[in-house]
Structure 1
Amino acid sequence: MLSREDREFFVTNGFLGPFRVYEPAEVKEMWRQVRLQVHDKSRACYPTTDINYDRHMDISILSRHISHPALVERLQGLIGPDVFCWRSEFFPKYPGDAGTEWHQVETYAYGSGIPSLVPTVRREKTPTELTIWTAFTDVPRESGPLKFMPGSHRKWLFDEKRKLERFDGLSSNGGFFGYHFDELKLDPNLELDESQAAVMEMEAGQAVIFTARCMHGSLPNTSRRAMRLGIATRYVPTDVKIFPDQTRFSEHGNEFDLRDWGAVLVAGRDDYEYNRVRTHNAREEPFITQPRVENVVTARICAGGDQWAAG
């Protein structure tokens, strides 16, 4: 499990890593297999969309990846013993692609203004969502690694509920799949000190865990040939409502029908039953649920308050 020092680092900074999940040769072979399967969307949740959300539902390697012990033990140490995976997505960055703008979210309401996540409990110094970004290729500085602004999860500098107009194109001009996150700044004149950023250069098979409340973005890919690829898997405690009262959602210019979606219990148990749960992927393979580990987070419940307010 996480050491006390690891948890204190996360509480202070909003991210933790990189840490090793797979050996380089292993993840290279995984990516070779995923690359062969990703174009077949016949069993995907959203077969008609441009964005590869939730391919852990139909690609076996990713079905197993989302509950890898190296991921789950860190998740449980930060948000508690009972954990859902609610989304996965690919993040490629090709040679010449610009860096992604700084952004900060929690309920994933950007674009539509409708939250995808609704927390029902707030715990001091404990996030209500976590992302694990796993490198499937090497990520040296020149290929566009992630960057974080340490400690920025303690204060809102962006309004994620503000609706955004979508522009044509993807990431060539610093936007994020059709959105400019600069438009969400509470202070449009906000300038961030880039020298304070933590840049996540990573080896293939390493990962970083962070709360999306921590401001993050990426550097440009200035290499001539190297594509950078990461798989982001997103998690919440089981007391969070996911897509409440929604049968579909709109994002990045796509319409997503939730008919085949379901949360995956990667650790512990679901005592709340707020959410639809998938126990098997589209190939009828069972998802893996890691054992419940008691007392991995001992945090005071914040009645109606912000979980980071106490610092």
Structure 2
Amino acid sequence: MICMDTTTAALTRDEIARFHQQGYLGPYTACTPEDMAAVRLRIDAEVLTSTGPNPASPLHSRHLDHRPVHDLVTLPGVLGRVRGLLGDDIVLWSTFLFNKEPGTPEVPWHQDIDEWPLDPPVNLSIWMAIDEVTAENSCVQIIPGSHRELLHHVPSRPGMVFSKEIEPGLVDTSGAIDMELAPGEFFLFSEQLMHHSNKNDSNRRRLGLSARYTTPSVNIRDQDSAPCFPGHACVLVSGSDTQGLNRMTEPPA
């Protein structure tokens, strides 16, 4: 463990109510920018330069083979808040390093659950800043309250990072906000919250880490197929798994 913040933060009743109303919470601090700087050096040297458990993407699920990535998404300040929304029994089923180098195209407006094989569709995500994340270098934008309805997704317009997007005529961006984050800060959001990011027109990289949590009672259908991969496994990060529905593994040494 590199990040030394051991503060366990529980959500208040007001925060839980706000999450259900708005579909997100944060930003919160998981670790200091100084601690994240040390982790960033290792991610740059050991993760971004190597293959991982998913042969199709070296940025996917590196918590399964790289302990600092696992430790970031299980910091007490993260899991304490996840427990407030999912309960004590928590399964980590996916992580992804979103690396937007200068010039990387736009991620279209989308809702994550449209692509996910979760039955029932219960998920809580975090997005954590590895680099400093601002509007200038393409921070995530979200639309508060947009999680209440699953909207129709269509093939993306040319030049987008993702292959699908919400049908453009259905997106009202008048209430969109920028989720600007210092290194070590994160926000939580619903599997149905509408979000996107612009093209990175700056000269600064924007590296962030997402993590996806669910409960042991959720079945992840066909763990060997996209968006999972052959050999995919989940990690129990809190409580116990009394259901045995999904392939599990231990954290990396």
Confirm or deny a common fold (TM above 0.5).
yes
Where in structure 1 are there 5+ consecutive unaligned residues?
A: 110-115, 120-126, 168-172, 286-311
1:208 aligned onto 2:187? yes
User: What is the rounded CA distance, in whole Å, between the counterparts of 2:107 and 2:53 in structure 1?
Assistant: 27
Which residue does the alignment assign to 1:5? 14
1:14-60 deviations in Å (ceiling 9; x for gaps): 0111111110011011011111111232xx322x3234211111111
Find the residue that maps to 2:19 and give its secondary structure. Answer: helix
User: What is the rounded CA distance, in whole Å, between the counterparts of 1:85 and 1:207 in structure 2?
Assistant: 16
Which residue does the alignment assign to 1:133? 127
Find the residue that maps to 1:214 and give its secondary structure. Answer: coil
Map 1:28-47 to 2 at 5 A.
28-38=37-47, 39-41=49-51, 44-46=52-54
Find the residue that maps to 2:201 and give its secondary structure. Answer: coil
User: Judging changes above 3 Å, is the alpha-carbon distance between structure 1 residues 6 and 37 closer, same or farther for their aligned structure 2 residues?
Assistant: same
| Equivalent residues of 1:132, 1:233 under 8 A apart | yes
User: Judging changes above 3 Å, is the alpha-carbon distance between structure 1 residues 166 and 141 closer, same or farther for their aligned structure 2 residues?
Assistant: closer
Match of 1:190 among 152, 155, 170: 170
Match of 1:20 among 29, 39, 44: 29
Residue 100 of structure 1, CA deviation: 1.5
User: What is the rounded CA distance, in whole Å, between the counterparts of 1:3 and 1:280 in structure 2?
Assistant: 29
Residue 273 of structure 1, CA deviation: 1.1
User: What is the rounded CA distance, in whole Å, between the counterparts of 2:114 and 2:217 in structure 1?
Assistant: 14
Specify the structure having the higher radius of gyration (Cα): 1
User: What is the rounded CA distance, in whole Å, between the counterparts of 2:210 and 2:169 in structure 1?
Assistant: 30
Which residue does the alignment assign to 2:4? none
User: What is the rounded CA distance, in whole Å, between the counterparts of 1:165 and 1:195 in structure 2?
Assistant: 21
| Percentage identity across paired residues of the two chains | 29
| Equivalent residues of 2:67, 2:251 under 8 A apart | no
Residue 250 of structure 1, CA deviation: 3.4
Residue 76 of structure 1, CA deviation: 0.6
Match of 2:245 among 260, 274, 277: 274
User: What is the rounded CA distance, in whole Å, between the counterparts of 2:99 and 2:197 in structure 1?
Assistant: 11
Alignment length (residue pairs)? 243
Find the residue that maps to 2:225 and give its secondary structure. Answer: strand
| More deviation, 48-57/136-145 | 48-57
The structure with the greater share of residues assigned to strand is 2
Following TM superposition, the consecutive aligned residue runs of length 4 or more in structure 1 with deviations greater than 6 angstroms are: none
State the TM-score, normalizing by the size of structure 2. 0.88
User: What is the rounded CA distance, in whole Å, between the counterparts of 1:118 and 1:27 in structure 2?
Assistant: 35
| More deviation, 57-66/78-87 | 57-66
Give the RMSD, CA atoms, in angstroms.
2.1
Residue 66 of structure 1, CA deviation: 2.5
Match of 1:218 among 171, 177, 197: 197
1:234 aligned onto 2:212? yes
Find the residue that maps to 2:226 and give its secondary structure. Answer: strand
Map 1:92-107 to 2 at 5 A.
92-106=99-113
State the TM-score, normalizing by the size of structure 1. 0.73
